[in-house]
Amino acid sequence: MTTSQPFDLRLPTPGCHNDPERAGLDAKSVFDGMTEHLFFTLGKLAPTASRHDLYMALSYAVRDRLMMRYLATTEAMRARPQKSVAYLSAEFLIGPQLNSNLLNLGIQKEAEEALKNFGIESLQQILDVEEEPGLGNGGLGRLAACYMESLASLKIPATGYGIRYEFGIFDQLIRDGWQVEITDKWLKGGWPWELPQPDEACFVGFSGRTESYIDDKGNYRSRWIPAEHAIGIPHDVPVLGYRVNICDRLRLWRADATESFDFYAFNIGDYYGAVEEKVGSETLSKVLYPNDGTDEGRRLRLKQQHFFVSCSLQDMLRSLDNRGLSVEDFPNYWTVQLNDTHPAIAVAELMRLLIDDRHLEWDRAWDITSRSVAYTNHTLLPEALEKWDLNLFSSLLPRHLELIYEINRRFLQQVRLRYPGNDAIQRKLSIIDEEGSKAVRMAHLATIGAHHVNGVAALHSDLVKTDLLPEFAALWPEKFTNVTNGVTPRRWVALANPEMSALLHQHVGPDWISNMESLRKLEERQNDQGFLELWGNTKLSVKRKLATYIHRNTGVLVDPASLFDVQVKRIHEYKRQHLNALQVITQYLRIKNGQTDGMAPRTVIFGGKAAPGYYMAKLIIRFLNGIADTINADPDMDGLLRVVFLPDYNVKLGEQVYPASDLSEQISTAGKEASGTGNMKFAMNGALTIGTLDGANVEIRELVGSENFFLFGKTVEEITALQQDGYRPGDVIAALPELEEALRLIEMGHFSNGDGELFRPLLDNLTGNDPFYVMADYADYLRAQEAVSRAWSDRMHWNRMSLLNTARTGFFSSDRSIGEYCKNIWAVDPLNVEITCDVR
């Protein structure tokens, strides 16, 4: 990337974006800002202010300091336009914002000093008050959040586009071992980080009909006459980079009705009808991922996707108009990244806006679209590649379906030229799935419309080309590339693990936080016994904090000196939490049978949410809790084994879990996990990985060294061979007495209060078809776990392996990932902004 000339902002006018009165970063300035907001914004006096009031006041004071950078960035882009990144994602799991912004401004100590004037001794007391924004669910949304932070830190102008979900996904309670979903009311206390922009609203249509006409130039055209409309109100969240002047934005759309109240309906007594349109429209931004087990749920999900994509593309086009730029230059000023298939409708919607609203001819519109859009694939699971029933799609987006038919027709002409007479390959590549109930394949639409298609780990990208989309890769090999995922070290090391961060600052230098490759200097200390002991003690102090949290929130007492063996992620069969559960049962049986020689004392920690409609995943949660209840109540397990399920796993909890973990469970079936990012967060914080050759595990193992990674399990090729040979899990079970005994114990109801039928669906699944090869990998998994116990017995050796994991994981910084996107896919350059007032 080349670096643009700095934009020098010299506007000393009070109240503007470099006003020193609201930009100071010393403790007194922060205190003054808090006092001002307590009085004028919140209407509170300091003596009566609650901790929530102080959180809001501090957040507003910090936001003032972000605004200087935010408006300076906006002004720089207006004065000297250059290409920006538009990152379209259905979710942004951004986590709590206050501490992140304090870190990136460099004023954590100053904020703590300011709080002491209000009788608050620790910044953590205020951080604990902050609600987690309900804007995402799992890895996809957390990746988007890391990428937005890295874009800003690398000074790349960018806007993340998504939906402002009022209730997010759900809060998870555990009752009688079962997951219970309750409403996530994360906005109930107000959210100080957003800036509503109602004057920049967008209109979005749904349903209705299309009609053809001849325009004034004699061209045949089609127009869409929607039957429904919604208004998208943008809410901007500033995204600050680490110690830079650039401040990007997250633009989240809230749905509103075009007409909020029907007076006629109200006056005739139809009180529900008076607000029916308002309720229907606002439903679009109520909940992340509505249950798609019903027709209405699927319809709402597709409406959500079109809603935020249409608003976002309209916003991009309007930005060109506001700067006097031609729509023809769209690819020169916007690069549109589709984060998975959820925003794939962007290909058809951009074509509609260009052809119907801006009256471009097809070829020109397609050239603009295909030069602007890029697509990231995040899954190899067929069920996760979105397909929409043709009747649903037609009724909701009739004009888009016309455009998709035309895109498909022109594309299939290319396929016929390449494969003349091969009808089978045409059916396979068509955007329209003709098998059974006809459907629109969104991954095909995204692949055809994008200039680049990337996977998110080396293995995953290879499998996308060889297994998932091989014919597309043969047509356009230049389109397909890889960008291995990354995570931001600011949140996942500096914020999450201040103890280790202090050690790194002392022995590596402060630059590691923006140059993770400098952690390689730690390798010089790998044989330093004193340093290794210090490294282990630092980890132990963090584990004590997590042990306190576990006891306070679950009632389970755990030993911080035990091996913290952790699997936290979305609950899904392919992630194989049930494989981990089976090895825990085996350890339990060995202890009961007195076979404890060489066994490492363990605390096995699980966490994660199951989709509300995913019965098997919810049954796995019940299974894990049943095992925990049985083991934790058995005195024979004391000092050897504890099992914990952490409810409502989220970013805030992850910041405690990753630094305290000794062993990272990355045990998905090979070929099923696209990449993973939890595996990276664990390794950065010095946890050792036990895992399969799946996703980014492959690259982690290569970088940290095979001797510092506990490998087990069938490879992709071996699983393919098992499939071809006719895999029979019963044969595997019969040859493994320990596995047979574990399954028998489950069947007897040992972990379900004597109810032998509770886990029957899970047992039938494992012993019948076993779709994720749990039985096939069980024996090798036990072997690897025994190797873990042996390694744990030599603590200096373990500390050395832990140190090398941290030292060698700089590659997994999201700064590296974004750098690759900028160079190889987006072709965007940094924007330098110089602010003349004192920012530090």
Q: Which residues are catalytic?
A: 378, 569-570, 575, 677, 681
The whole-angstrom separation of Cα 579 and Cα 782 is 10
The partner residues of 9 in beta bridges, in order of sequence, read 835
The partner residues of 389 in beta bridges, in order of sequence, read 439
Q: How many Cβ atoms sit within 10 Å of the Cβ of residue 223?
A: 13
Residue from 601, 575, 560, 563 nearest 687 by CA: 563
Please count the CA atoms within 13 angstroms of the CA of 718 that sit on its side-chain side.
13
Cβ neighbors of 91 (< 8 A, separation 6 or more) are 135, 136, 137, 140, 141, 144, 162, 288
The whole-angstrom separation of Cα 772 and Cα 731 is 16
Instruction: Output the six-digit token pair for 667.
Output: 């045990």
Residue burial 568-589, b: 16+ Cβ < 10 Å; e: rest: bbbbbbbbbbbbbbbbbbbbbe
End-to-end CA distance of the chain: 27
DSSP codes of every residue in 351-387: HHIIIIIS---HHHHHHHHHHHEEEE-----GGGS-E
Outline where 555-650 has alpha helix (H).
577-592, 615-632
Identify whether the C-beta of residue 589 lies closer than 8 Å to the C-beta of residue 745: yes
Distances (CA, A) of 658 to 135, 505, 523, 655, 685: 21, 19, 22, 6, 7
Q: Which amino acid is at 240?
A: L
The whole-angstrom separation of Cα 683 and Cα 522 is 14
Q: Find tokens 């402002």 and name the residue.
A: 164
The whole-angstrom separation of Cα 236 and Cα 159 is 9
Q: What are phi and psi for residue 602, nearest 5 degrees?
A: -130, 145
Q: Find tokens 């072709």 and name the residue.
A: 827
Distances (CA, A) of 492 to 208, 252, 497, 530, 659: 47, 24, 7, 26, 8
Residue from 38, 46, 33, 42 nearest 119 by CA: 46
The whole-angstrom separation of Cα 404 and Cα 278 is 31
The whole-angstrom separation of Cα 649 and Cα 93 is 12
Cβ neighbors of 434 (< 8 A, separation 6 or more) are 427
Instruction: Output the six-digit token pair for 207.
Output: 């349903």
The whole-angstrom separation of Cα 572 and Cα 277 is 37
3-state secondary structure at position 515: coil
3-state secondary structure at position 145: helix
Helix (H) or strand (E) holding 731: helix 729-734
Instruction: Output the six-digit token pair for 112.
Output: 């703590």
DSSP codes of every residue in 417-467: HHSTT-HHHHHHH-SEE-SSS-EEEHHHHHHHH-S-EEESSHHHHHHIIII
Cβ neighbors of 490 (< 8 A, separation 6 or more) are 100, 103, 104, 149, 153, 242, 513
The whole-angstrom separation of Cα 150 and Cα 454 is 19
Q: What are phi and psi for residue 220, nearest 5 degrees?
A: -75, 130
